[in-house]
Chains A and B, each alone.
Chain A
């Protein structure tokens, strides 16, 4: 599904990713953890194609194609979805309009027929029910005046409706209370399938009590310094990031 090799990326003059390697197969859930400033969010922005993040070295292959060559909207058309750490408010555009524009743009990109308003509505209802998220928010302007929890739930609703093959969830757990965290995690779990992959990016081990990943990677200073199964989270929780940071220094040094 996704293959990242020796990825170097920078923002302005600052190099953030310094040789990152990661392979995600269909159906797998990977989690990247790491301290502040390790490059977690840079990775998600690079994957989604944000212009200000420059890839200087290495490659990213997605479904066998060179991802870096694709525009952000083309990546979405190819089934890549990024749940934003800070979802953007768009006053004047309802969630419904936003999703209609997005879904039909993706369908057009894939050469599928566009859906009319009634078909859309039917689809939205079915998908919202699958992930058990209330659709009422779609009547309001996108994210405008939403609480932190509402914004993240809304990202999950978008994900359910757009049905990506690879979903990158950037700190989808930050700022949530337990109830909201449960709703978001349940939505992710409901969408897990053999041909859909997830990349969770988080600062906290807490999320992994609700979504159990197949692999955990620890990102320090722009590189993955340790990978393992779900038990790695517990070890991290116990020993803290300092432990891997030390470990990283030893391996790098």
Chain B
């Protein structure tokens, strides 16, 4: 009965959505949404009985439906956004509040002509063919209920197109802000990034909230990296600690392309970060790194799948978790090497630090290798702070509490130092600082 009510609500809400392309045709989009809704109805919210969700329980989402968050033109204090700025000088940012584009908070000017950095409805009006040829092509929803639901609610979102050969060093910043004014509300952010051949770009997605209510963010980002292009993508999840946050990055890498995916999970009551990388062209290279920092009762889950479909590709995953109090971390990393993907060079590492007896981590590496000439290394460790390192610091005069903080910082640092975007690193260090007080004195 509950399931019925859930489906009915989503069906109703989805059908009432206005289409971003209502004025210019776009039957394909309505058709896509319809199919996605149908698929969601068949799949339902995932349960712990499914292997991929064994450690992450979404019962709060399946228990009752979440209505679409819609707070109209809620007044937002820009300071909330400025705090997370990643490039104060240029500040190319697009802001969506509860999934709706906000011109008044965004800054889309000052970019080269060969960059599109806009919201979905605007891009649809300008270049419907472009949107149609990419949107929905990289994030399949047949086996993924939540991507199906996101697609069923496709309404607005962000479109980024980096023109051929363009080297854009200034980061493009997407801020998805949840109003957080009402509980049981959901938004379905959708981002499409097309990096054309030999372009270079940096894109940051920041998720945050203005209020303290228990909302749900169900985001999907599609990313295609065309031949020879290079993309650095950051996910900075700073949701409020009552929220559910689901994010799926579906990336397709073409020949000789390069992706660096940096993932930070810090907020939310429950966060699930799906990274799906398809190595679709020979010679592609992917680095997928993450830091998840849990305290209180937080549940932070990273689920990574790298699919090697072509030869001579390399992929490297490096995730670190730091879990305090009663928090629960999950790392699932799957590497698939198909028959044709000879000379694959792949590695995966997950190291976790438990700071309390009640904290917990589940880590499960999975290798599926169908080619015979490949290199696949993986390793996972979970431990507590090294007693001898603590004593070493204390024997030099450092107080026990500070010694602990220093070691935690050191553990996180290996991931943080790979993030080349300094303002983001500073934000991260500020959060660490907030939780582990001693770090301030370490300096660079």
Mark out the residues of chain B between 400 and 439 whose CB falls within 8 Å of any chain A CB in the assembled complex: 400, 402-403, 406-407, 409-414, 438
Number of A-B contacts (CB under 8 A): 91
- Whether A73 lies near B400 (C-beta < 8 A) is yes
In the bound complex, CA of A117 to CA of B412 (Å)? 23
- Whether A101 lies near B392 (C-beta < 8 A) is no
B contact residues around A244 at 8 Å (CB) = none
- Whether B392 lies near A84 (C-beta < 8 A) is yes
Among B396, B400, B409, B411, the most chain A Cβ lie within 10 Å of the Cβ of B396
* B45–chain A nearest beta-carbon distance, Å: 39
Assuming A91-B414, A105-B402, is B391 touching A72 (CB within 8 A)?
yes
In the bound complex, CA of A56 to CA of B3 (Å)? 66
Instruction: Assess whether A248 is interfacial by the CB under 8 Å rule.
Output: no
Assuming A50-B391, A84-B392, is B414 touching A92 (CB within 8 A)?
yes
Binary B-proximity of A64-98 (CB < 8 A = 1, otherwise 0) = 00000001110111000110100111111100011
With an 8 Å Cβ cutoff, the count of chain B residues facing the other chain is 27
Residue of B with least CB distance to A78: B397
* A43–chain B nearest beta-carbon distance, Å: 15
By secondary structure, the B interface counts as helix
A contact residues around B438 at 8 Å (CB) = 101
Mark out the residues of chain A between 174 and 226 whose CB falls within 8 Å of any chain B CB in the assembled complex: none
- Whether A82 lies near B395 (C-beta < 8 A) is yes
In the bound complex, CA of A98 to CA of B406 (Å)? 9
Number of chain A interface residues as a range: 35 or more
* B224–chain A nearest beta-carbon distance, Å: 35
Q: List chain B positions with a Cβ less than 8 A from chain A.
A: 386, 388-389, 391-400, 402-403, 406-407, 409-414, 438, 441-443
Q: List 5 additional contacts besides A75-B395, A100-B443; criterion CB under 8 Å.
A: A89-B389, A92-B410, A92-B414, A93-B413, A93-B442
Q: What are 17 contact pairs spanning A and B, CB under 8 A?
A: A73-B399, A73-B403, A76-B394, A84-B392, A88-B388, A90-B407, A92-B414, A100-B441, A101-B393, A101-B396, A101-B398, A101-B438, A105-B396, A105-B397, A158-B396, A162-B396, A162-B397
Q: List chain A positions with a Cβ less than 8 A from chain B.
A: 48-51, 71-73, 75-77, 81-82, 84, 87-93, 97-106, 109, 117, 141, 158, 162
